[in-house]
Amino acid sequence: MTRRRYSDRGSASAEFAVALPAIVAVIAVGAAALMVGSTHVRLQDAAADAARLVSRGEPDRAAGLVASSVAGAAAVIGSDGDLVCVTATAEVRVAAVVVPVMARSCALDGGL
């Protein structure tokens, strides 16, 4: 009768313990990407609305709109020919990393 020297007992637990940090890291990176992406979408919407407000002659409301849409966001108003452009920027903190996010939108000057 031959006795088996090595057993597979507990190998599933060991493999799970090794894989768990990788799974957690993938979930964390996915959540961070969603957070940055959603901030970019809100910033893009705010920049578009702000550009329309500036083109109608309400630049003060435009800067306030960007700041209220995304916490800590800033707006820079400029022109490009017949267009009025708003560049909105914000920083998203993901754990110890700060990710800069920027969106730019333009509207025809004069509100047409």
User: What sign results for the dihedral spanned by CA atoms 12, 17, 23, 27?
Assistant: positive
Higher pLDDT, 65 or 112: 65
Name 76's Cβ contacts closer than 8 Å, sequence gap at least 6: 86, 87, 88, 89
3-state helix, strand, coil in the chain (%, to 5): 50, 30, 20
% residues pLDDT > 70 (the chain): 89
Task: Decide which of 14 and 72 is more confident.
Answer: 72
In the chain, what is the straight-line distance between the N-terminal and C-terminal CA atoms, in Å?
93
Q: Summarize pLDDT for 17-50 with one digit per residue, the tens.
A: 889 999 999 999 999 999 999 999 999 999 999 9
Rg, C-alpha atoms of the chain: 25
pTM of the model: 0.78
